[in-house]
Amino acid sequence: MIKAITFIQPVASTEAFAKLSALLLSLGFESGKSWKNETAQGTFFAAPVGNLELLAGVPPGVPSLLIETTQLDHIHAAIHQWMLTSSRTEEIATLLSEVTATTWHSRLFTVQLDPNLTVGFWQSENPLHNQPVAIEGDLSAAGMSFAIVTTRWNTVITDRLLQGSLDALHRSGAGKQDIEIVRVPGAWEVPSAARTLAESRKYDAIITLGCLLRGETAHYEAIYNEVARGIGQSQQETGIPHAFGVLTCETLEQALDRAGLKAGNKGFEAAIAAIEMVSIQRKINQQPNEKAGN
């Protein structure tokens, strides 16, 4: 099995070597073991995803060292900020190019670290280019059934969470007949109702909603820990996805913010997570069993 491939590309100078190493570290590359002897030195850098690409001829204006990114504009801004600490402001405009479109369906900018060392950063127009193959969920709720467990306690919050969940489900293609709403007294009762609904096998996912506000006693921690444990245990033991939309906040103002005022709606987010998890489960279950014929 191939462990690594090394393409020898000597850096122009010791100073350029130091600049390139500092730049890569500032962008999040993982630094490996360095080595040095009487004639040369080297440093290993690891990227989360690595690829080997061979070219028969290099397009005009493209440097020999290219680094592919997923957020090119952010990388450009980060390098500009990094250069402010090591270069004069008037030099940056000549050393760091603007982001421009290429003839090979991508965008590119270059940074000159040394007269003999220029590094190019680029991003493909195809967002899936060189991405690892992964199973991901779709956000269509058509053909899925859901149960929502919500509470009567703190309804000024939980009703907002419920409306957020319903909004997400209906926007994603779920009909009214595909959604069952169950109201329980408080957050303590949510895991029990969720477990009963999951064990009925009538629903593809359970969405749990509630709100706990901190008081002056340890009651808050005791309730929250058991609610979280119960919902998680129900999901693990039944295999039915449970989306967690139980708020734990210090104040009523914080809860209102997380129920649709300033920080999004946790009920909406929980419903979207439920849809995605159902989709992922279905895709996994549809995968052919390669071992079946062995």
Q: Please pick, among 74, 80, 105, 219, the residue that the annotation labels catalytic.
A: 219
Specify the 3-state DSSP secondary structure of 216.
Answer: coil
Name the percent of the chain in helix, strand, coil, to the closest 5: 40, 25, 40
To the query of whether residue 219 is one of the catalytic residues in this protein, the response is: yes
57: left (phi over 0), alpha (psi -120 to 50) or beta: left
Burial letters 89-124, b for 16+ CB under 10 A, else e: eeeeeebbbeeeeeeeeebbbbbbbbeebbbbbbbb
Q: What H or E segment, with its residue span, contains residue 35?
A: strand 30-36
According to DSSP, the β-strands at 106-114 and 117-124 are: antiparallel
Catalytic site residues?
219
